[in-house]
Amino acid sequence: MKRYIHLLLFILLMSSPLLLSAQVVDQEVHHVVFQVTKGEVADQNKAIAQLNNILKALPNAEIEVVCHSGALPMVLKEKSQVLEGIVKLQSRGVVFAACENTMRRAKASKEDLVDGAITVPSGLAEIIIKQEQGWAYIKAGN
Amino acid sequence: MKRYIHLLLFILLMSSPLLLSAQVVDQEVHHVVFQVTKGEVADQNKAIAQLNNILKALPNAEIEVVCHSGALPMVLKEKSQVLEGIVKLQSRGVVFAACENTMRRAKASKEDLVDGAITVPSGLAEIIIKQEQGWAYIKAGN
Amino acid sequence: MKRYIHLLLFILLMSSPLLLSAQVVDQEVHHVVFQVTKGEVADQNKAIAQLNNILKALPNAEIEVVCHSGALPMVLKEKSQVLEGIVKLQSRGVVFAACENTMRRAKASKEDLVDGAITVPSGLAEIIIKQEQGWAYIKAGN
């Protein structure tokens, strides 16, 4: 009887992948430069959710999140709405990078950034150079 | 006389490409992963128009349309506003792919998708992998 | 005394790169296809600012700005809100390209374009082909 239930479960799972939680697509190393330009609470939550989805599918992806323009608040200690999400992603190797051009306009200093975040002289230049090095480009959000 | 009219027409057409309908740019095979993230009626129409424009210019382009996040309704039988446009594009080889992460959140099953649509475990992972394989990336919409 | 001030200044500059103006990242040649799809005044200003930021960081970047869809007004003589910005960027080698599909819909002719702008049969096809040729892709705006 137990055997039949196992068999049934197996068939059910195989035929209905949507009943499962998010699937691993592969374990290879992937390189992704992830651009965030918007900073409303919904945008911040969306970015974190998208990053988690990438890591569920591609657990060994190396991801750099470039926050520039309207997205700076996401990586500012005092303003970020997703601190916990950032810390969790950092613990999995995700790098958060703030654009120094944007920081200068916002009068933000390195001390204002969430712990572990790095800065890049220009967010757009960073995205260009990463693509030239073979990294895939994703523009976040809707 | 007729000859002169032909000549005139020829000169006119050559010098005013904007009087012509959309031009073929080349007949080569191109690979394009086309990301759609928004699902309002205007967004759906825009995506279909952009896909048709690509195929007018690059008639042998191989295109995969990844619908995730807010764009899922576009490929749901009951909600799509552009069913006819999708069918026409599919007949030209365009593949419509729905993100299983998004489907799970929306409680949509494979049966709910428009005929011929495929699913991918993660829309973003799909876009990353396609780029790694040399496909060009276009993020749809305004 | 002067020596100490110099030393102090040196330390200050080294430790606070954010006090400096935008940094040059490198002098290499980079190739960037920059997509603009929105045409409100804020969008036009944003695009020009982003292009200037790229050139500050990568002074030898070769940039083609593809204006299509809602972004056509940016390169129309009568409607552009950023004529001066475009002329300055053109003097640095930036190419502005208008999509002929969009021009046809807007009933705009080549004479309507800002001086020096070129046209491409399809903005999206142009972006696809440039990526295939190794150009980095940036989608402008927020």
Predicted confidence (pLDDT) per residue in A75-102, tens digit: 999 999 999 999 999 999 999 999 999 9
Question: Closest to B122 (Cβ–Cβ): which among A17, A18, A53?
Answer: A53
Chain B residue closest to C107 (CA)?
A: B18
Residue written as token pair 């045409």 = C39
Length of chain A: 142
Q: At what angle do helices A123-132 and C41-57 cross, to 10 degrees?
A: 60
- Quote the strand ranges of chain B, DSSP E: 30-36, 61-67, 95-99, 118-120, 136-139
How does the average pLDDT of chain C come out, rounded? 91
State the nearest Cα–Cα gap between B103 and chain A, in angstroms. 8
Q: Which of C46, C34, C56 is nearest to C142 (CA)?
A: C46
Q: How far is CA C100 from CA A128, B17, B27, B28, C118, in A?
A: 27, 9, 19, 20, 10
Min Cα separation A31/chain C (Å): 15
Query: Looking at the predicted structure, is the pLDDT value of residue A16 above 60?
Result: no
Task: Report whether pLDDT(A9) > 60.
Answer: no
Burial track C68-91 (b if 16+ CB lie within 10 A, e otherwise): bbbbbbbbbeebbbbeebbeebbe
Model confidence at C141, pLDDT cuts 50, 70, 90, reads confident
Please tell me the predicted confidence (pLDDT) of residue A135.
Answer: 98
* A40 has a chain C CB within 8 A of its CB: no
C21-51 pLDDT, tens per residue?
679 999 999 999 999 999 999 999 999 999 9
The pTM of this model reads 0.87
B47 at C interface, C-beta within 8 A: no
Selected for mutation to probe chain B from C31, C69, C112, C122 (highest B CB count within 10 Å) is C122
Are the beta carbons of B142 and C69 closer than 8 angstroms?
Answer: yes
The burial of A21, by beta-carbon neighbours within 10 Å (0-12 exposed, 13-18 middle, 19 or more buried), is given as exposed
The count of residues in chain C is: 142
B17 by Cβ neighbours in 10 Å (0-12 / 13-18 / 19+) ranks as middle
Task: Please give the pLDDT value at position C109.
Answer: 98
**Which among A14, A15, A18 is the top mutation candidate for probing chain B, defined by the most B β-carbons within 10 Å of its own β-carbon?**
A18
CB-nearest to B30 from C70, C103, C132 is C132
Cβ contacts of A110 within 8 Å, gap of 6 or more: A119, C18
ipTM: 0.86
The answer to whether the Cβ–Cβ distance between C54 and A129 falls below 8 Å is: no
For residue C23, give the nearest of A70, A108, A121 by CB distance.
A121
Flag whether residue A138 sits within 8 Å of chain B, measured between CB atoms: yes
**What one-character-per-residue DSSP string does chain C give?**
-HHHHHHHHHHHHHH-GGGS-PPP---S-EEEEEEE---SHHHHHHHHHHHHHHHHH-TTEEEEEEE-GGGGGGGBTTT-S-HHHHHHHHHTTPEEEEEHHHHHHTT--GGGBPTT-EEES-HHHHHHHHHHTT-EEEE---
pLDDT of A1 over the 90 cut:
no
Residue B22 pLDDT: 76
Using pLDDT thresholds of 50, 70 and 90, give the confidence band for residue B12: low
The subunits that touch chain C, with at least 3 C-beta pairs less than 8 Å apart, are: A, B
Kindly determine whether residue B23 and residue C104, on different chains, have CB atoms separated by under 8 Å: no
What percentage of chain C exceeds 70 in pLDDT? 85
Q: Which residues of chain C have a CB within 8 Å of the CB of B17?
A: 100, 121
Other CB atoms within 10 Å distance of the CB of residue B2 = 6
Q: How confident is the model at residue B141 (pLDDT cuts 50, 70, 90)?
A: confident
